[in-house]
Structures are given as C-alpha cells and as structure tokens.
Amino acid sequence: MTDVSIPVARTAWRGHASVEGVRRVAEEAPVALTYGRTTHAVMLATPGDLEDFAYGFSLSEGIIASPADVTALEVVTVRDGIELRMDLAGDRQEALTRRQRHLAGPSGCGLCGLDSLAAAIRPVPRVPAGPTLTTGTIEAAMRSMVPAQTLNADTHAVHAAAFWTPTRGLVALREDVGRHNALDKLAGALARAETSVDHGIVLLSSRISVEMVQKAATLGATVVAAVSAPTALAIRTADAAGITLIGIVRPDGFEVFTHPDRIQQEPVAERHVA
C-alpha cells in the first residue's frame, strides 16, 4: 500500500441535477511503529513519507534523542496495514522496554504510551531565544503553504505541517490525514536533514492543541503559527516553553497568544518629499 490517494466513483449534485464522475480521496491505513519487533503504537495515517514519520514519532515521544539512535528501519506492508520496524541502540531499547512494562493500556492518537494523567501534561523543554519576525513574514510564510499542499489540493481532506525561514522560504512540508502525524513527519524530515528550527516558523493547517505544542517544543521551534485557534492548555504550555504561539492567520492579520515580543510591525517605507 503506497498510494496516498485513490480515485473513487461519486455522484455530485449541483443545484437540482446530478453528475456522475470520479474524485480522488485520501488513503488512510493502520501504521504500526515497532521497536525490536514489539509494537509500541498503531496510528491511522496517510501511507506516505513513512520513514520521516518513524523518526519524527520516535523523537516527539522521547524514544530517541537523534536519528542516530535508530540503527535500522524497514517499512513493511503486511496484511492489515504497514509496519515501521525499527531497531534501536542498546540503551534506547532498554529504556523503552522498561517504559513499556509500565503501560496501563493501549495507545491513542496524539498521546501514545502514557501511564498516568501527569504524563499527558508533561513539562516541555524551554526553546531558544529565537529571531524577531515582522508581521509580513508571518503572512508570507502562511501563504507559501497553500501551493505546496499538493495532496490536499487533490483530496481536500488532509492536514499539513511545514517549516519556513526568512532566508530559505519554505524548507519542508508534510501532509497527512492526522495533524499529529503531519507534524511528526515534518519533525522526522528536519531531523534527518539536520535542519535547526530555532530561526524559523513551524506552520500548521490545523487547530493548535497541547500535543502539537509539546511536539513543537521537542522539535525546538520558537514560533508556531496556525490557521486555526489554540486551546487554553496549548497556550499555557507554549507560554511555559517560551514559544510564540500565533493563531487564526488570515490574509488580513493574525492573533498572537504568547511571547508577542518576537513579532514587530512591518517597517513603513520612508516617504521622500520632492
């Protein structure tokens, strides 16, 4: 299973008339993340950029500290879905095995392998100081996402996470039916390319929940901007992490919820009097 979208027959109603035709829809598959042949989590995901997903999920869940901790990775299609089979360096595998012995139950989307309520709101790392950005850079960054969201243009059904810098523009973008998965895929892609994220903007096409802020903080992101709004817990978590959290980004502006000192007004061009 490698297609990220497939054509399906559909009947479209336009006004009072129906039209038979074909639409492409996003594919969705169970993806198991296994370490040492033991399944840690099963996520429903778009079956694309799966190596990035394996690394990004492992980083955001604290299973590895860097891609070098994964000594082998194999993407295997099985009868019921896809397995991302990873082998870890000895100390990492031992730590994960100890952690799995204390799991209370099955994993869920966004919060995998938790054994207590406290683990759901675990402390996040403090991010670096980061750059000062103008209002125009926020708007330009978000505009750059749309033409790069090719799967969403095809299906109108997937989320995107991207990284943008003032000097390089759009560095990377990943798409998935799950917003958590899209951000994990982005994290994996950036880590594999050894790209630092402290001088750019992490862009999201979704709402900003606490899990998204936790993943961004683990990534080291200093600025996170999204088309939708954050939750209250996401705001508190971003504030504690030192992240500038920006939501409701529209062509006519946006709203900053935490650490607004990183954002400054676009400079007005000087007027020359003849």
- Give me the active site residues, please: 109
Distance CA 176, CA 179 (A): 7
Distance CA 261, CA 142 (A): 20
Contact 47, 1 (CB under 8 A): yes
What is the C-alpha R_g of the chain? 20
Distances, alpha carbon 54 to alpha carbons 115, 232, 241, in Å: 22, 29, 25
- Indicate the pairing of strand 244-250 with strand 223-226: parallel
Distance CA 184, CA 177 (A): 12
Q: Which residues pair with 173 in a beta bridge?
A: 162
Q: Which residues pair with 161 in a beta bridge?
A: 174, 204
Residue 166, both tokens: 């003032």
Residue 62, both tokens: 């604290």
Contact 173, 149 (CB under 8 A): yes
Angle subtended at Cα 166 by Cα 162 and Cα 51, rounded to the nearest 5 degrees = 30
